[in-house]
């Protein structure tokens, strides 16, 4: 790093402390004098920690009083749960959903993942939800793509997605309550 020699003049009102052979010390005014100090060029960088967060207000699904073969919807009229995602990493990110443990509450009889569909009813992101808005899409045994970021989504803007879920059980399934859990994953790979 280069250094620069700089002189700084002190004002004339500076006093010098003189200690004599007498019984004490006294202040004695003195003329201004120059101090030399070395100034070095410094470079600094600030690293901002990346924000990569995803929060869901309710991951638990519970469909009460389901009639076999008839659709039952969570969030009819508005939405059932809300997901908030944010990343300032400047890179694309992808949101996936996975269904866990969809089953009849009393008998523990499992249902196939595609018995349940999801749909985004409202969102604030720069891109369209996967498969389009308002279209119901089935879950799969593997995670399904829900949203791929674009533009301002990748620079810290919060993306909010609101969901509805519809369950249609087979005709031979028992009536009653069905439960499951939705897990959302936010990643930088599709």
What pLDDT shows up at residue 155? Answer: 93
Asked whether the beta carbons of 94 and 188 are under 8 A apart, the reply is yes
- pLDDT tens digits along 28-40: 455 555 556 666 7
Look at residues 124, 112, 115, 120 and name the one whose alpha carbon lies nearest to residue 81: 120
Would you state the structure tokens that stand for residue 188, as one six-digit string? 């930088």
Mean pLDDT of all residues belonging to the chain:
84
What pLDDT shows up at residue 133? Answer: 73
What pLDDT shows up at residue 141? Answer: 95
| Cα maximum dimension of the chain | 112
Work out the average pLDDT over 106-114.
97
Domain spans of the chain, in order of start: 3-40, 52-187
Instruction: List 86's β-bridge partners, or say none.
Output: 53
């Amino acid at each position: 790093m280069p250094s620069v020699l700089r002189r700084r003049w002190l004002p004339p009102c500076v006093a010098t402390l003189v200690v004599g052979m007498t019984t004490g010390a006294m202040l004695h005014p003195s003329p201004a004098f120059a101090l030399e100090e070395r100034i070095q060029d410094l470079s600094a960088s600030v690293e901002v920690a990346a924000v990569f967060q995803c929060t869901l207000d309710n991951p638990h699904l519970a469909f009460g009083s389901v009639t076999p073969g008839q659709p039952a919807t969570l969030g009819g009229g508005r939405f059932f749960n809300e997901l908030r995602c944010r990343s300032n990493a400047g890179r694309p990110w992808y949101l996936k959903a996975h269904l866990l443990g969809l089953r009849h509450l009393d008998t523990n009889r499992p249902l196939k993942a595609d018995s349940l569909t999801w749909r985004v009813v409202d969102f604030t992101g720069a891109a369209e939800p996967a498969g389009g808005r308002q279209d119901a899409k089935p879950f799969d045994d593997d995670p399904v793509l829900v949203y791929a970021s674009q533009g301002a989504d990748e620079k810290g803007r919060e993306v909010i997605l609101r969901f509805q879920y519809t369950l249609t059980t087979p005709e031979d399934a028992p009536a009653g309550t069905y439960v499951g859990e939705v897990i959302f994953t936010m990643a930088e790979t599709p």
